[in-house]
Amino acid sequence: MEQEEGVITRNFVVIGHRASTTGDFNLNDLAGGAGRLDVLLRCITSALLISNGIRKDTDIYLVLQGGNDPPKTLRIEGYSVRYLNPDERSTGALVRNALMKELEEGEEVRSTPGIYASGRDFRTLIEELARKSKIYYLKEDGEDIRAAAGQLDRDTPMTFVLGDDKDLTEKEENAVLRHLQHKPSILSLGRTPLHSDHCITIVHNELDRVL
Amino acid sequence: MEQEEGVITRNFVVIGHRASTTGDFNLNDLAGGAGRLDVLLRCITSALLISNGIRKDTDIYLVLQGGNDPPKTLRIEGYSVRYLNPDERSTGALVRNALMKELEEGEEVRSTPGIYASGRDFRTLIEELARKSKIYYLKEDGEDIRAAAGQLDRDTPMTFVLGDDKDLTEKEENAVLRHLQHKPSILSLGRTPLHSDHCITIVHNELDRVL
């Protein structure tokens, strides 16, 4: 994971509970046949795109658990991603290409520049990220991120974990909670329940203001 | 414009500088042939949708200035809108239906529930909204919304004006500035330049916290 000197990396992990894990879905049916892949595509855009640019300090991981070949994890790296546009359809085409790649055991395979696929499951991914970043879990009953933002560890890369249109299952939540010995670590974004991509936008805005 | 008792209406106005004004575009080419209509569709979603619900206190106005029949203004009313899903393609289909309606001079025509089309131009729309709400202009060099949020007039409906992927032209800006006698009225969302839909998400978050 390359990064610029002195810039703290921001990672987002989004679970696609029934998102397609093969590339045989129709780009005209991203919300239906592709298992709410539309939610994840909007998360990519919120995580990585700003006006006329890309957040080079940010990576997003999509853990896809639906379809015929689960689990798969896609990593889209802001530092090196190319051909990324803000619309859902073209982002869907990039993801489809990545899901068509043949995977290698225990390795990330590059699809297009900055887009990588692997067979990692959620628990393995979180363990890996916990070794090199602090994990933060976005949850409605967590501590208000605005009150907590000043207390975040600014010297360590940060990983924010959230669900798609479904909350984390108990098992998924347990895989996260064991890495939350630090405080604050369970964060909420206010009282209004929001879509995942909107949550990512707000996390970035908070971090932009304190980092 | 119906609204719930005691709830202050939030309006967003987004200018689509080259967005299609007729319904003959292809849903597979929303970013290209439809004149960056994709930007406006994401703005609809950010303005109106929360997790498992709709912001009934919010309306969004899209001022379309491209294509073969400019100008057109679409109003999507949170209070009554139906069939609205978060994905771009289905929202694009709703907008396309609205652009196929035959307009009547000086009247809003209903397309589907909560979606209305008219031939109003930007200046006329802003004048109308200035009579029944306070206008706020989102601009990068404005006053930080976070500092200003506590000073917003909480007893008057609010209208937030922004561009699509292009800033307002000088003429458009002048049409707004003449309605900004109050302070604060030119608001920024932080130092990072953001996409329009992300701006709307952050405005909502600020308002959710103070209203």
CA distances from A7 to A4, A75, A171 (A): 6, 19, 33
Question: For residue B72, what are the β-bridge partners?
Answer: B64
Q: Is A26 helix (H, G, I), strand (E, B) or coil?
A: coil
Residue of A nearest to B40 (CA): A87
pLDDT of amino acid B4: 54
The pLDDT tens digits of the residues spanning B173-211 come to 999 999 999 999 999 999 999 999 999 999 999 999 998
- Closest Cβ opposite residue B86 in set A28, A89, A195: A195
* Set of chain A residues whose Cβ sits within 8 Å of the Cβ of B204: 192
User: Are the CB atoms for B13 and B61 separated by under 8 Å?
Assistant: yes
The answer to whether A7 contacts chain B (CB < 8 Å) is no
| Cα-based torsion angle of the residue sequence B25, B27, B30, B32 in order, rounded to the nearest 10 degrees | -60
CB contact under 8 A, B190 and A208: yes
- Closest Cβ opposite residue B193 in set A30, A51, A209: A51
State mean pLDDT over B13-33.
97
State the pLDDT confidence band at A4, using cuts at 50, 70 and 90: low
Q: Does residue A89 or residue B3 have the better pLDDT? A: A89
Residue by residue, what is the 3-state secondary structure of B110-169? ECCCCEEEECCCHHHHHHHHHHHCEEEEEEEEEEEHHHHHHHCCCCCCEEEEEECCCCCC
CB contact under 8 A, A190 and B209: yes
Cα Dmax for chain A: 45
Query: Cα separation of B135 and B157, whole Å?
Result: 9
Cβ contacts of residue A198 below 8 Å, gap of 6+?
A46, B46, B50, B201
Q: Is B63 helix (H, G, I), strand (E, B) or coil?
A: strand
The chain-wide mean pLDDT, for chain B, equals 95
Query: Cα separation of B99 and B101, whole Å?
Result: 6
The pLDDT tens digits of the residues spanning B38-91 come to 999 999 999 999 998 999 999 999 999 999 999 999 999 999 999 999 999 999
Residue of A nearest to B87 (CA): A38
The pLDDT tens digits of the residues spanning A119-136 come to 999 999 999 999 999 999
CB contact under 8 A, B201 and A204: no
The answer to whether A49 contacts chain B (CB < 8 Å) is yes
Q: Give the orientation angle of helix B196-210 with respect to helix A196-210, to 10 degrees.
A: 80
The answer to whether B58 contacts chain A (CB < 8 Å) is no
Q: In a mutagenesis test of the A interface, which of B192, B202, B206, B208 is the best target, namely the one with the most A β-carbons within 10 Å?
A: B192
